Amino acid sequence: MKAQLKRLALIWLAFGLSACNMPGFVEPTPLFPSPDLTLTALFAQLDTPVALPSDTPAAISEATEVQTLAPTEPPTAVPTLEPTLPPTATSTMPPPSPTPVPPTATTKPTSTTVSYAGPGARTRSPVVAYYLQREPTIDGVFDEWSLDRYSVSSVVFGGANHGGEGDLSAALMLGWDDNNLYIAARVRDDRYVQKATGSKLYRGDGIEILVDTNVSKDFYLDELDKDDYQLGVSAGLNSPGTDMEAYLWYPAAKAGSYQIVKMAALTTDNGYRIEVKVPWSLLGIRPDVGQHYGFAFSVSDNDRSGEVVQQSMVSNVATRVLTDPTTWGDLRLAGRP
């Protein structure tokens, strides 16, 4: 019996030893560190990953690998460069290589910074002065004149006081030679009144000549400058041909009465005739055939016997504005008619 029990014990022991080496048998992993670790080791950050048994679920294994992988540089095959295209109109990115841009002007340019140059002649209301082989006698008689006549009937001031062509109008003729500009006008005026002199002579019956001596330089300049001339001629104090006077208002630096301007006037049955010789030297002009100048010829009227006043004005240029040479007409110097 004892021998039989001893044999069974040996068989059981052999079976137990062989079970330890059987396939599929795995010793369970301890859930806690061994008692030999200190408290510091228990709470220390693990720098080296802990090996898991082969039957650990894949999700746990992958998570452990992501946490323990060292960061690497982005792959060169897919660069992460910033866009290099220029920013759009709504983009806040500055251009890669900004080019300096001058600031936009915010003030009106002055005549010293802007060119007003343009054509050499104006197109409106053209008139022609023909070259005269013989200087006409300045006496108010038109026997020597056989030139084109230009109408002077456009009301440019005092329309409410203008009573028609019989009240105020004129016909104009122009000539020239190397020394002078010649003007002859037959004026229709139903009542002659001139009591003003000097700078006030426009407040009575008389004529006015506007000349822009350099059109191309300031073709677009809408104000007077030193090459613009305003010359007035009284047809006579109290009556045509008596104490006549020429007065230059502009340029202001040359303002005053000028005796070098020769003039004569005669009374007619419906107004007066007037002749004027204006030296080119007064206007700073060296004349030549084909030259053009800004020009307007006008006639003033006063019908109030007891007053010194300008009631109306007519001109050969309907657009005439005294202070704006761009509204004047054109004078051309031609050869012999």
Give the domains, in start order, of the chain with CATH numbers.
127-334 (2.60.40.1190)
> What is the pLDDT at residue 2?
53
**Mean residue pLDDT across the chain:** 79
pLDDT, position 76 = 47
Is residue 155 within 8 A of residue 313, CB to CB? The reply is yes
Q: For the whole prediction, is pTM greater than 0.85? A: no
* Cβ density class 71-86: b for 16+ within 10 Å, e for less: eeeeeeeeeeeeeeee
If one compares 67 and 5, the residue with the highest pLDDT of the two is 5
CA dist 223 and 128 (Å) reads: 25
From CA 285, how far away is CA 96, in angstroms rounded? 59
pLDDT at 72 over 60: no
Sign of CA dihedral 132, 136, 140, 144: negative
**pLDDT at 56 (0 to 100):** 37
Using alpha carbons, select from 196, 197, 195, 206 the residue that is nearest to residue 238: 195
Residue 182, both tokens:
């010649």
As separate numbers, helices (DSSP H) first and strands (DSSP E) second, the chain gives 4, 14
Residue 330, classified by CB atoms within 10 Å of its CB into exposed (0-12), middle (13-18) or buried (19+), is: buried
CA–CA gap between residue 1 and residue 6 (Å, rounded): 9
pLDDT of residue 147: 86
pLDDT tens sequence across 150-185: 999 999 999 999 999 999 999 999 999 999 999 999
3-state secondary structure of 312: strand
For 181-211, the pLDDT digits (tens) are 999 999 999 999 999 999 999 999 999 999 9
In one-letter notation, the amino acid at residue 125 is S
